[in-house]
Structure 1
Amino acid sequence: MPLIAPGDRPLAGLSTDLYFPPVAELIAHLEESPPDYLEIFRGRTIDLKELRAQLPPALPLTYHGDCLWYTQPGYSTDPEFREEERRACRHMEALRAPWMIHECAQKSMEGFDFGLYAPPLLTPEGAQVAREGALTLLQAMEGRLLLVETPPFPPHPPGGMDLGDFFRILTQGTPLAIGLDLGHCLTYLSASDRPVDIPSVLDWLGGFPLERVVEIHAGGMHFLSLDGRTWPVDDHSFPLPIVLFDLLEAVLTRLHLPSLQGIALEVDNKESRHAAQEFARFRDIVRHHAKPGGFSLPPATPFRSPLPSADRDRVREGYRHLARDLSGNHHSPYSQHLYRQEIWEFGGNMDELFPETLARLREAGVDVRASFVDYFNREPHENRPGEDFLEIKIRRAGDWIDHLTETHPEIPLSLRETRHREAQSLLHAQNLYNGDP
């Protein structure tokens, strides 16, 4: 069931985490400017059911999925992704969500892992692989709509193919819809060495498949100075910058978006009172400038033939090359600065996760941060769909300690037991709060 009828004005919504800010607290701060709908990030099924029961039945809820890496060549044949699809369907059923939006990106690829979204492989073959994976996911969604979202780009060369052309190959002739994230567009243009201003974004969007955009996102950003340049970095805990408020107004005023149904402010990881203050201005822009939408997507045509195996192998190798570049093989502001911080801190700071283990390693003269970050993606390792980054870090920490005790005789084998004890405590807490059988 769509959010709006054809010809109605799109709704102004909030996209938020299930746990922070707490949804009940967020709603309490929004009494003077309530949202038309909520988009809820992936969480535990039991918690999603409880949330739906607590909210007014007339308030629509949509779903923001995760861990379904349909950009990857092995997505359609990996049975572990089938379980993740079933989990996503349980989540959508709990929320009574008409659609799922999911980044066209991945945090795991060809034996490498990252804490934040890594961009897709911007080649025609990469777009075709993502298309096949997204259609596999759509078939599992029990008649709901799938929105493939424009991904964030780190300060790193994005690849040779234009993102608009990539999304056209990905979606043309399919039932797939698009989620257009305006902040992510800024990160893409910046990574592509293009101007990051409203005229440049509007000009670039002129070649984008806007007829498939069903939802628009805007979220917090900060601007980081690295290697003599200022880079926009997607981070929803930061305020929504003025340029995104102005860009939203310009997009709604000047562009033709016939299928648009919802426009959501992303406020995950933001204090409720700050989110409420931003949403009041955001909602005013939507209500004053959004034009009628909700019309049907372009008709689907028969699916093109599957990608030849040789092309699929090239995509696999392309993702391996991309992962190594992001992990430090390429000298970019991301790989030389942000990647190292991401591996050490995201999902849980290593000093807080393994305090006793790291203290003993430091006593043995190990530069623990440099050693762990360099080891983390040094060689391909097992990717496990559904694991969050904390679980991946715990597993990689075990591999790292095993490696150190095998290659450094001065490091005692008893350190493995210390690491195991700390890991078990972390995994118990993780399962208690985030487990979802």
Structure 2
Amino acid sequence: MNSFDIEFRQRVSKIPFHGLGLSVDVYSPDVFDLTEQLEEQALSYGYLEMFKADQLALQEVRHRNPSTYLEYHADGLWVTQPDWEISYRYHDELTIAMNHLRQLGCSWLNHECATKQIAGHSFGTYLPPVFSEASAHVTAVNVRSAQRLFDKRFEDHALPSPLFLLETPPLTFFAIGEVSYADFFRFLAEACSCGFVLDIGHIWTVYRYTGAWQGSSIEDFLEGLLRAFPLERVVQVHIAGLGFHPAVLRQDQRHRCPPNWLDSHDSPIPDVLFRMLNQVLAHPRLINVRGVALEVDTKAISCIIQEFRRLGEQCTAWEQEQRRKLADAIDHDPVSREVSIAEAPRHFPQDPQLEIQYRHYVEMLTQCTSDSTFPQTNLLSTVDPTGLNVYRQDYLPYEIFEWGGKFQEMFPATMQALASLGGGCEGLFCFWYSHPHSFSEPYDFFLVKVHYFVEFIRVEYPECLTLAVQEAADLRDGYVLACQARSSQNRP
């Protein structure tokens, strides 16, 4: 046990057992409608993990749930990135997160071990890190920096400083890097005191998109992953739906492979994930879990009720046993309530080429940038070319042109003007990924889309710029009003 393990044990010992809960959005579905219907069905929950939202909305959640454990699922903290503290407004994002943590009275902050921005390039959904030892060390340094800020901010708070948790990321058709998924988290655990969230559906995507399905059953694969994973660091377990993407074939019949499922919170939870959950919860090294959450943002309430009932029926015995084990552990192996901060150098030895590797990562995904300074890395040799091609030919263009709003609907007048000139926005994709940009505001993919459309028009169709600028201003104003309206609808 190293000094980071000791620090983790001291931190996690302050977190009470939460039991079964839900990881939810304030708005979709409406969290108050959801909890009301759960109570009508006599389905009790131990906690709610709230996704990042407007502070007034989160304040109302705390007001209406004065005695419920509330935890926080953050977004926008790109701790996997080597330039996080230089290229991104990391301090602003951390300040927002800390304000939300105080508002809710949280024991932990959960964030995907993934990013939506790399080297100034923005994506709509999470991308996993480069799976390498150097990448794990950079992530650990950034998490340690964030945890120290939490500690300083919460010195005068009645509750302990929230523990930073990293969630195992989903794979979207591919993985990249030289070490295994489990070893990456082992390297993280050796270099910082954070906890982990083990997401069952995300683990299934590892089985599917690393090609592990070709050589083993899901049960054998999971057994091997759990054997290598630092399970003692797992504080929470997530289970959520898996679903198909509208732009991608559902299954490659040529190879009889598993379905092309992706992480999809609005989709039903397949039976295989409930079986995997049983296998995970039965593992003897899973000793520090404080909660198991059904992740349900964007899902229909009727489906949530059905799945949460099943989760309760499946996990009641585990919940009772875990509660007893934690009580016995506190009685027989008390941990110092004073956290001993592990001493380590601010900068671990790391590969100086990591930032260049991440730029190469973007080039591999988009094929829209060209940089002669890229080293001859082995990144491409670690990626399944079939999955990579699906991502960059089908998934990513859909993300740019369809997800979060179609440009024809966002900029109707500008698009009509382009059509009259015989033009269109087909070239926007490569324009987007050929022009890295550092944004002054916290990450918001809708606003990123607005920015890049206007810049594309500025360069390629300047005669339409006045129209585009006006429509962009209308979109931004309407977006602000919509966000304010969503916030106010949750207040009495």
Residue 323 (structure 2) pairs with residue 302 (structure 1):
no
Matches within 5 A, 1:37-436: 37-55=47-65, 57-77=66-86, 80-141=89-150, 142=154, 143-172=161-190, 174-195=192-213, 197-223=218-244, 225=250, 229=257, 230-290=259-319, 291-292=321-322, 294=326, 301-304=342-345, 306-308=347-349, 311=350, 313-328=352-367, 331-368=388-425, 370-384=426-440, 386-405=442-461, 413=463, 415-434=464-483
Residue 61 (structure 2) pairs with residue 20 (structure 1):
no
Residue range with higher mean Cα deviation, 72-81 or 243-252: 72-81
Q: Deviations over 1:3-42 (max 9, x none)?
A: 9988x86510000111110011111221221211100000
Contact (CA 8 Å) 2:415, 2:424: kept in 1 or not?
Answer: no
In 2 relative to 1, CA 287–211 (structure 1 residues): closer, same or farther, beyond 3 Å?
same
In 2 relative to 1, CA 3–271 (structure 1 residues): closer, same or farther, beyond 3 Å?
farther
Q: Distance in 2 between matches of 1:272 and 1:68?
A: 29
State the shift of 1:238 in Å: 0.7
Contact (CA 8 Å) 2:59, 2:104: kept in 1 or not?
Answer: yes
State the shift of 1:168 in Å: 1.3
Residue range with higher mean Cα deviation, 169-178 or 99-108: 169-178
Q: Distance in 1 between matches of 2:11 and 2:132?
A: 32
Give the AA of the match of 1:374.
C
Give the AA of the match of 2:466.
E
State percent identity of aligned pairs. 29
Q: Distance in 1 between matches of 2:356 and 2:180?
A: 20
SS in 2 for 1:401: helix
SS in 1 for 2:22: strand
In 2 relative to 1, CA 200–378 (structure 1 residues): closer, same or farther, beyond 3 Å?
same
Give the AA of the match of 1:338.
Y
State the shift of 1:255 in Å: 4.4
Contact (CA 8 Å) 2:24, 2:297: kept in 1 or not?
Answer: yes
SS in 2 for 1:281: helix
Q: Deviations over 1:347-398 (max 9, x none)?
A: 2232321222222223333343x32223221332324561210011111111
TM-score between the two structures when normalised by the length of structure 2: 0.80
Give the AA of the match of 1:424.
A
Give the AA of the match of 1:33.
L
Contact (CA 8 Å) 1:110, 1:383: kept in 2 or not?
Answer: no
In 2 relative to 1, CA 239–328 (structure 1 residues): closer, same or farther, beyond 3 Å?
farther
Contact (CA 8 Å) 2:141, 2:346: kept in 1 or not?
Answer: no
State the shift of 1:47 in Å: 1.1
Residue range with higher mean Cα deviation, 112-121 or 134-143: 134-143
Residue range with higher mean Cα deviation, 379-388 or 234-243: 379-388
Q: Deviations over 1:61-86 (max 9, x none)?
A: 00000001111112234572111111
Contact (CA 8 Å) 1:158, 1:192: kept in 2 or not?
Answer: no
Q: Distance in 2 between matches of 1:353 and 1:251?
A: 45
Contact (CA 8 Å) 1:154, 1:187: kept in 2 or not?
Answer: yes
Q: Distance in 1 between matches of 2:17 and 2:134?
A: 37
SS in 1 for 2:478: helix
State the shift of 1:332 in Å: 1.9
Residue range with higher mean Cα deviation, 93-102 or 188-197: 188-197
Contact (CA 8 Å) 1:3, 1:262: kept in 2 or not?
Answer: no
Q: How many residues align?
A: 424
Q: Distance in 2 between matches of 1:91 and 1:433?
A: 21
SS in 2 for 1:91: helix
Q: Distance in 1 between matches of 2:400 and 2:413?
A: 19
Q: Distance in 2 between matches of 1:312 and 1:321?
A: 14
Where in structure 2 are there 5+ consecutive unaligned residues?
1-9, 155-160, 330-334, 369-384, 488-492
**Alpha-carbon RMSD:** 2.6
In 2 relative to 1, CA 87–10 (structure 1 residues): closer, same or farther, beyond 3 Å?
closer
